[in-house]
Amino acid sequence: VGLKEVREVVADGSNRLRVYGRRTLLFLDEIHRFNKAQQDALLPHVEAGTVILVGATTENPSFEVNSALLSRCKVVRLERLADDEIVAILRRAIADPERGLGASPLAIDDAALASIARHADGDARRALTTLEVAASLGRRSGDRAPERSEQGEGGGMGPASLIDEATVGEALQQKTLAYDRAGEEHYNVVSAFIKSLRGSDPDAAIYWMARMLEAGEEPLFVCRRMVIFAAEDVGLADPRALGVANAATDALRFVGLPEGVLPMTMAALYLARAPKSNTALTTWTAARKAVEEKGALGVPLHLRNAPTPMMKAMGYGGGYQYPHDFEGHRVDAEYLPAELREKRFYAPSGQGDEKK
C-alpha cells in the first residue's frame, strides 16, 4: 500500500476510536519499503494511540526504520528456523489436503526433507517454494512412470509422486545464499571476514570470503577490504602485506573470475597468517587529534622553505641540518612545533618486522 491508503486507514481508525472507543491495528508488511516521509506520516498517529502499528521487515530496522518511529515501538526479532522446525512445516504442508499438497498422494524420503531444510537457510517460505517445485517435478516423473499401486499389481490407489534428493536438487538448481549486498547480512558477513583475518584464522577467513563471492558480492569490494586490512591491521609488522593485497587486486583485474579467486585466496591466507600491528591506525588517530585540539601550529623556522633572499634574512631555513651530511644520515633535531615538542604519536608494537 501507499501513503494514501495508510492515511485512509488512519482516518477510519480515528473515527472508530472517537465513536466506539476501539483502536485500530495497522499491520504493514515490508515496512522498510516506506520512505522517510511515509514513515514520518505515521508518527503522530502512533503517538496519539489512534492505531496500534505492527510493522514487519526482513531488513535491520536500525537501518531502515526512522529513529523517531523506532523509539516509539518495541522491536521483536524473529530468528531463523532450525532445520527440524523446517522439516515439521514441510510435513504439515505435505499432509494438508486444503492448503497444502495432501490432495494427491505424495511420497518424500527423509533425506529429501533434510536437503530442503538445509538449503532453506531458516526461511520457511523458501522451503515451501522448493517443496512445491519438487512436487511438480515428482508428479511429472510419476506421469511418465509405470502405474504403481499401494495394493500391489492389481488396482487400488493411483501412483504417488516420489520426491527424492535428486528431485530436490533439480528443484533447487542453485542455492541462493542469504546475503543482501545492501542489507544487514552484507555487513555481518564482511565483519566476520575482517575479524577472522584479524584473529589470524585462515580457515574462517576463506570461508567468509567464499560466502561473499558465491552469493554474488563484487570481488573488487573484497579486495578493497583486504587492502585496507593490510594497512590497518597488519601494518608495519609485515609491510609486504600491503603489496600482496594490491597484487591480488591487480591480478583480479587482469584475469577476472573465476581464476581471480586464486590470488584473492593467496592474499587472504597471507593476511590471516601475518603478524598484526595497528600502529598505522593509532598513530594517524593520535596525530589527527593533535591537529584538531591545537589547530594550525606554526612551522618552526628551521623547517621552513627559503626560496628568496628576503625569506632567508627572516630566518627561514636557518639552522637546518641536512641529515645526509652527518654520520648515519641522522641528526638530533626537533621537527614538531614547539607546542608538541614532547609529544609522541607512534608507539611501535613489537610485532614482526616492527620489532626489528
Tens digits of per-residue pLDDT, 87-102?
Answer: 999 999 998 888 888 7
Question: What are phi and psi for residue 158, nearest 5 degrees?
Answer: -70, 175
Name beta bridge partners: 107.
162
Q: Which three cell numbers stand for residue 169?
A: 536438487
If we measure between CA atoms, which residue out of 271, 195, 261, 263 comes closest to residue 237? 271
Q: Which three cell numbers stand for residue 52?
A: 496500534
Q: What percent of the chain clears pLDDT 90, i.e. is strictly above it?
A: 33
Give pTM, 2 decimals. 0.59
Instruction: Read off the pLDDT of each residue in 75-93 and give the average, rounded to a whole number.
Output: 91
Question: What are phi and psi for residue 117, nearest 5 degrees?
Answer: -60, -40
Q: Which three cell numbers stand for residue 72?
A: 516509539
Name beta bridge partners: 163.
108
CA 95-97-101 angle, to 5 degrees, is 65
Q: Is the pLDDT of residue 150 over 50?
A: no
Q: How confident is the model at residue 190 (pLDDT cuts 50, 70, 90)?
A: very high
Highest mean pLDDT (candidates 5-19, 26-40, 218-232): 218-232
Q: Is the pLDDT of residue 210 over 90?
A: yes
Least confident of 57-61, 106-110, 156-160, 349-353: 156-160
Q: How confident is the model at residue 166 (pLDDT cuts 50, 70, 90)?
A: confident
pLDDT, mean over the chain: 84
Instruction: Read off the pLDDT of each residue in 25-48 and give the average, rounded to a whole number.
Output: 83
Render the burial of 168-179: b for 16+ CB within 10 Å, e for the rest: beebbeeeebbb
Q: How confident is the model at residue 53 (pLDDT cuts 50, 70, 90)?
A: confident
Residues 206 and 272: their CA atoms lie apart, in Å, by: 9
Phi-psi region of 351 (alpha: psi -120 to 50; beta: other; left: phi over 0): beta
